[in-house]
A and B are shown apart, each in its own frame.
Chain A
Amino acid sequence: MSNHVYDIVIIGGGPAGLAAGLYGSRSKLDVLIIEKGVFGGQAATTAELENYPGSIENCTGPALTERMKHQAEEFGTKFVYDEVVDVDFSGNIKVVKGKEGEYHGKTVIIATGAAPRLAGFKGEIELRGRGVSYCATCDADFFEGLDVAVIGGGDSAITEALYLTKFAESVTIIHRRDTFRAAKYLVEKAMNHPKIKFILNSVVEEAKGDEILEGLVVKNLQTGEVSEVPVNGVFVFVGLDPITKVFEGKIALDEKGYIPTDEEMRTNVEGVFAAGDVRVKMLRQVITAAADGAIAAVAAEEYINEKFNK
């Protein structure tokens, strides 16, 4: 790989990274985004993003994030597919090591995001892609006319449950409490939906099936009663874990692995910023990720002006 030094190297091509790319490139900075899998991040696997301002028409996650990528590209952001395996933030020029090459930047913006957490029931890993799913948009098609379950009680769980009703015969929401973190509007919509059933105060203990999912063993936490729910699919939305393993020991992380920053998205290491779901924050949404990205890019530009352009 060349010794080219970018102004900003952004790790992660989700909404935070793409917004940072857009803002950086519009400021005529030399910006690279490194993405290991799919551009658009978690948003690209979200069915409908009707809570992102301005996206009421054609508001699918893939459509919105594709437009974000295109927009960043129009202003000159460069993209590369690579998986970051190590970083060296000790010098003035930051080094990001990928499987395919090494990238150098005056600044780095970490926008690696978060990944869906496993629910932790027996058979969950063995039956992934065989009935156990973490992506309703990807897999909903398979379950046309079949019965599915959704695990979780947050925005993602309820939104995706509503989406699944377009395909499945029935959608059973299994939630460990009887209250929901999801927006009230969504919960009401789900409660009134003829295809949606609820199993509350309950957890899934086991996924049963030989090669493909046939049913779930569900335990009521209040009564201890165990029952079997026959479903062909189960969609898990029980929360997220930050993707920060590669940064352990390189920058400060909180006890859950998220990156603490100040209001300008600065981490504890000079020249290294963080944006989006990977950051310690109250609300993890596309809109807050994009806002973080914009701030991080502007803060990075200020840092470059002070540090390198004097």
Chain B
Amino acid sequence: MLEVNKDNFEAEVLNYTEKPVFVDFWGDKCEKCKQLMPDVHKFEEMYGDKIKFCSLNTSENRRLAIAQKVLGLPTMIMYVNGEKAEVLTPDKIHSAADIEEMIKRFYK
């Protein structure tokens, strides 16, 4: 999974138009994020041909996360042509299945 940060976020996510871009916003202290991570890696193997998978460590890129209106973890965002197409805020993520459902909506 491609690690994005303040230096490459614009190029890899906002200016990327080939496929939808999935970004996993996580943090060093977010246990739920870490428990979900193996499943997200699995989803990349399953759906990576049509969706680009990125992760963003908010602990190291706090300003960038807040600029993306992310203030809670875990948050998963799907970008299409650089625009936010769907946002899963923490309350909408009960298990990995919720993430997979969103991914499937963009796997076309």
Residue positions of A touching B, CB distance < 8 A: 36-40, 44-45, 61-62, 81, 83, 99, 125, 128-133, 135, 137-142, 144, 211-213, 232-233
Chain A residues with CB below 8 A from B91, complex form? 125, 128-129
Chain B contacts to A: CB under 8 angstroms: 27-33, 35, 58-59, 62, 65-66, 69-75, 89-91, 94-97
Q: Which of A45, A133, A135, A138 has the most CB of B within 10 A?
A: A138
Report chain B residues within 8 Å CB of A135: 72-73, 90
Given contacts A83-B95, A128-B72, A129-B89, could you give 6 more A-B pairs where the C-beta distance is less than 8 Å? Answer: A128-B91, A129-B91, A135-B73, A142-B62, A144-B62, A211-B69
Pairwise interchain contact B27-A141, C-beta atoms closer than 8 A: yes
Contacts of A129 in B (CB 8 A): 70-73, 75, 89-91
- Contact A37-B58, Cβ < 8 Å, known A81-B95, A138-B73: no
CA distance A62 to B35 in the complex (A): 11
Chain B residues, CB < 8 A from A137: 29-31
8 examples of A-B residue contacts, CB within 8 angstroms: A81-B96, A99-B97, A137-B31, A138-B72, A141-B29, A142-B70, A211-B69, A212-B66
Q: Report chain B residues within 8 Å CB of A37.
A: 32, 35, 94-95
Report A-chain residues with C-beta under 8 Å of the C-beta of B73: 129, 135, 138-139
Interface centre among B29, B71, B75, B95 (most CB of A within 10 A): B71
Contact present for A38 and B32 (CB under 8 Å)? yes
Nearest CB to that of B27 among chain A residues? A141
Interface core residue of B35, B59, B70 (most chain A CB under 10 Å): B35
How distant is the Cα of A133 from the Cα of B71 in the complex, in angstroms? 8
